[in-house]
Amino acid sequence: MIRYEKDQRVPVTLTVNGREYRQWIEPRLLLSDFLRDELGLTGTHVGCEHGVCGACTILLNGSPARSCLKLAIDVDDGQITTIEGLARDEEFDALRQAFSENHALQCGFCTPGIMLSVAVALKHTSESDPVDWDDVLSGHLCRCTGYVGIRRAIKALQAKEGGEAKA
């Protein structure tokens, strides 16, 4: 086990939304705090800070992950996508529009995490191998929508794209 001195800083290199960052950080810094406090990417929300609510979800090397459960140093050399990075993706426009049109958000606290998980799931779903949306959404706590609007948004998007519509 590596032991760190008090106030010691360690180097970390992370590619976030396509841009490489090299920083010196405290070894105990959470990835969620690194994104929010060091990089100013506050679209990554922090709710429970122990892996339950899903608000802090980011994509780590293309897969959804809880950024509150990881130390930034543990994902050194990783590729991270936050909601800010997805916002530059044209494919994301349709998802954003579907959420907006179907009232899939109210306060919006859970929304970045849910959108990241849904965006990845949509890429992997097909008629022959449909994604289990209960499973996807079970990783996210939304205290406002009752999930009705979120499911409606997914369904509308899939109908528009001609994919399977069971959400």
Binding pattern for the stretch 7-46 against ligand FES, x by CB under 6 A and - elsewhere: ---------------------------------------x
Residue 146 CB, shortest distance to ligand FES, in Å, is 9
**Terminal alpha carbon distance of the chain:** 45
* Residues within window 54-73 making contact with ligand FES, judged by CB under 6 A: 54-56, 66, 68
Does position 106 interact with ligand FES (CB under 6 A)? The reply is yes
Candidate list 18, 51, 62, 146; residue touching ligand FES; CB under 6 A: 51
Distance (Å, rounded) from C-alpha 147 to C-alpha 141?
9
C-beta of residue 14 within 8 angstroms of C-beta of residue 77: yes
Nearest CB to ligand FES, comparing residues 68 and 119: 68
Distance (Å, rounded) from C-alpha 44 to C-alpha 82?
7
C-beta of residue 60 within 8 angstroms of C-beta of residue 79: yes
C-beta of residue 118 within 8 angstroms of C-beta of residue 99: no
* Residues of this chain that bind ligand FES (CB under 6 A): 46-49, 51-56, 66, 68, 105-111, 142-145
